[in-house]
Structure 1
Amino acid sequence: MIITFKSRATADTIMFGDVAKDLLSLMGKAFEPRGIITLEQLPDAIARLREAAERSRAAQRGQPEPDDVDPARAPVPVSLAQRAVPLIEQLERSLRASQPVIWES
């Protein structure tokens, strides 16, 4: 499933469903096939995602590098912080433009 976040202030942000559901949960939103992050909710949603991204970065910094893995062949995991950045940017731009953000699957 694909979830698309839309705002009149920005281009769409498209995510896989499981990632979008996690980010919505972090923002305090229940997942539904369609929903909205209102202007009043945007500051709190941004703060929650930023906090979760920082926790993700801190946890990643604490992970030891594997000694026996060839870095050229090792899969590079995508952190929650990396996945959240496009949505955080969309939310911030939408807030500056006084536009809500909707999502739909």
Structure 2
Amino acid sequence: MLVTFKSRASAEVLMYEEHANRILDLLNKDHKQGVITAEETARAIQILEAEIKVVKAQEVHATSEAIQRDVVAHHGESGDDHEHEQPEVVSFSSRAYPLLEMLRAANKEKRDVLWGVL
């Protein structure tokens, strides 16, 4: 299911519900329908930017460990290369970026951000 974020400050942002819910949990907002008021946008930006920094550090560490495990598992002790593709992971920051930009625009123009409304 998709969640559509709307603001008069920018174009709509579509996000899968599971990813939107993670962000909305950080902001203590209802998943189905809600608003981030113009007054709340500055704090929402701070929270989201802080979470992105934390998650980026965790993702780098987890990715390097996963790659090392993959190399050992697929190359073996002889060093044979089985030509496995590196997995392409979509990071939290990549998923959150469009909404973060919407929040910045809404903050600048003193507009609300809404979801779950027509």
Instruction: Give 5+ residue unaligned stretches, structure 1.
Output: none
Return the match for 1:73 from 41, 62, 85: 85
Structure 2 equivalent of residue 14 of structure 1: 14
- Pick the structure with more helix per residue: 2
Provide the aligned length of Structure 1 versus Structure 2.
104
Matching of residue 98 in structure 1 with residue 97 in structure 2: no
Read off the aligned partner of 2:21 and give its amino acid letter: K
The two structures, once aligned, show a CA RMSD in angstroms of 2.0
CA apart distance, 1:74: 3.2
Instruction: Give 5+ residue unaligned stretches, structure 2.
Output: 76-81
- Give me the TM-score of the superposition, normalised by structure 2: 0.79
- Give me the TM-score of the superposition, normalised by structure 1: 0.88
Higher Cα Rg: structure 1 or 2?
A: 2
SS at match of 2:114: strand
Query: 1:62-102 CA distances to partner (integer Å, 9 max, x unpaired)?
Result: 23233248786233121211111111010001110111000
Calculate percent identity across the aligned residue pairs: 31
Matching of residue 56 in structure 1 with residue 55 in structure 2: yes
SS at match of 2:101: helix
CA distance in structure 2 between the partners assigned to 1:3 and 1:17 by the alignment: 6
Structure 2 equivalent of residue 43 of structure 1: 42
CA distance in structure 2 between the partners assigned to 1:36 and 1:71 by the alignment: 48
Read off the aligned partner of 1:44 and give its amino acid letter: R
